[in-house]
Amino acid sequence: MKAFILDQYKKGAALRLGDMPEPTLGDDDVLIEIHAAGINLLDSKIRDGEFKLILPYRLPVILGHDLAGTVSRIGSKVRRFKPGDEVYSRPRDGRIGTFAQSIAVNQADVALKPRNLTLEEAASIPLVGLTAWQALVERAELKAGQKILIHAGSGGVGAFAIQLAKHLGATVATTTSTTNVELVRSLGADVIVDYKKQDFEKALSGYDVVLNSLDGDTLEKSLDVLKPGGKLISISGPPDPVFASQQGLNWVLKQATRLLSFGIRSKAKRRGVGYSFLLMRADGGQLSQIGSLIEAGIIRPVIDRSFPFAATNEAMAFVEAGRSRGKVVVKIR
């Protein structure tokens, strides 16, 4: 099968389009013909080698973390899916590879595609949807009446998180550029900070939760927004000791994460707020819940543009430039 392959870690390098063996189907696996795949910054970070210590892969490896497609075969223990089902998934770490014509995914990581979405639209959802769900529902335990700041509201995670936070009953603030003010307003943002005109840390205060996806400077300034007892959740780092323990990292890496996050954890503690790093995990059950919200019209996908499969490297470069509104997908079939 055709696939885009990472042969060696190298910043900004192009993936190689080549032939790879057809996936091996395990007893608990679903073999999926991929129709479309989402592009995420995580793909670029893995390619660049930024995650090779905490997400080690034996190269060559096929990249890609989002997919929507059609089930072609199922393993002997699969009961929830059948050939012909249209599904979407974020395959678990260690078994990624959606920049390809097909993939075998553990059934626990798969859900039926929302009926009101095309396969292309569905491919944009899994990683950002699961990230937002695990940040807001699990980690933040966001409740009605609380206030949350979601950075980069026009990005993939931000656009989804704004809609989810509004569904949960929170007051939502977001940062964005002038050109995207109307987009984030249409998604439900109550307070919009145009970062080209305002400093968010001066404009906002008394918030319960901040979801950060930006750089370290933004992370530190976000402390000024939170009230005592608030939660600062970052999906862009730095990793913390709790994450290291959850990942089962060795002693050296645990100490490294302790040092990397020492500064922000110390500053958060002095402010009386909590800091945590989130790396989302695959979860087909949560994708089913997300699908129900999409079918009910509560959350809608936001897609900037689609690229043909042959232009996967160009699609990654477009996302890396940081100007996409919502998600970018590649059409494989």
Question: 250-294: per-residue pLDDT in tens?
Answer: 999 999 999 999 999 999 999 999 999 999 999 999 999 999 999
* Cα dihedral: 282, 105, 332, 124 (round 10): -20
Virtual CA dihedral for 285, 291, 296, 300, nearest 10 degrees?
A: 140
Task: Give pLDDT tens digits for 210-259.
Answer: 999 999 999 999 999 999 999 999 999 899 999 999 989 999 999 999 99
Number of other CB atoms surrounding residue 23 within 10 Å: 20
CATH 3.90.180.10 in the chain: give the residue spans. 2-125+301-331
Q: What are the beta bridge partners of residue 275?
A: 232
CATH 3.90.180.10 fits 2-125+301-331, yes or no: yes
β pairing state of 147-150 and 171-176: parallel
Listed in order, the ranges of the chain carrying CATH 3.40.50.720 are 127-277
Burial 54-87 (b: 16+ CB within 10 A, else e): beebeeebbbbbbbbbbbebbbeebeebeeebbb
Residue type, 171: T
Q: Say whether pLDDT at 327 is over 90.
A: yes
pLDDT band, very low/low/confident/very high, at 1 (cuts 50, 70, 90):
very high
Per-residue pLDDT, averaged over 41-70, amounts to 94
> What is the percent of the chain with per-residue pLDDT over 70, rounded to a whole number?
100
pTM of the model: 0.97
* 154 touches 325 (CB < 8 A): yes
Q: pLDDT of 184-215, one tens digit each? A: 999 999 999 999 999 999 999 999 999 999 99
Q: Hey, what amino acid is at 140?
A: A
Give the DSSP H/E element, type plus range, for residue 120. helix 119-122
Place of tokens 């497609």: 69
127-277 belongs to CATH 2.40.10.220? no
54 pLDDT above the threshold of 90: no
Instruction: Please check the confidence at residue 323 and state whether its pLDDT lies above 90.
Output: no
pLDDT value of position 53 = 86
Q: What is the layout of strands, in order, in the sheet containing 61-62?
A: 16-19, 2-6, 61-62
| 141 pLDDT higher than 90 | yes
- What angle is formed at CA 10 by the lines to CA 128 and CA 260, rounded to 5 degrees? 65
Burial of 50 (0-12, 13-18, 19+ CB in 10 A): middle
